[in-house]
Amino acid sequence: MTEPAGDAKPRVLVVDDEPRMGKALQRLLAHRYRVTVATSARQALAVLDGGVEVDAIVCDLMMPEMTGIDLYEALRARRPGLAARVLFMSGGAYTEDAQEFLAQVPHRRLDKPFRPEELERALERVLGG
């Protein structure tokens, strides 16, 4: 089913290596956002390179192969405006590199588990609302 042409819902890309988490976030956000889910940072880049435009990204920080940090760095090089609209989430197992990264970037972070209203407030801030 396609979205109506006049649909002004912001577009959000959810990136999480746990498919169930991605689907849960998609269901949670669907009432306010058009949500696309990617199960890896590489898949997220492929989605974006394929022409999908998004207004914000909700991204797991710690993922195998390519982390949320790696995705952020790729976005900074390719699409700096979008890199500024990344919201990170994590289960809290931070490596030293992740701790340093989070201290240096001005992005919001949500610690799992979080409440739905926390996610929505954080996304509103990322989107400037």
Nearest CA to 63 among 103, 14, 106?
Answer: 14
CB atoms within 10 A of CB 104: 8
Take residue 120 and report the two structure tokens written for it.
């929505």
Residue 1: per-residue pLDDT: 32
List Cα–Cα distances, 44 to 16, 47, 57, in angstroms: 10, 5, 9
pTM reported for the whole predicted model: 0.88
pLDDT values of the chain reduced to their tens digit, one per residue, 129 residues: 334 445 689 999 999 999 999 999 999 999 999 999 999 999 999 999 999 999 999 999 988 999 999 999 999 999 999 999 999 988 766 678 877 887 787 667 888 899 999 999 999 999 985
Residue 3: per-residue pLDDT: 43
How many angstroms separate the CA atoms of 128 and 100, rounded? 25
The CATH label, of 3.40.30.10, 3.30.920.30, 3.40.50.2300, 3.40.50.720, for the domain at 11-126 is: 3.40.50.2300
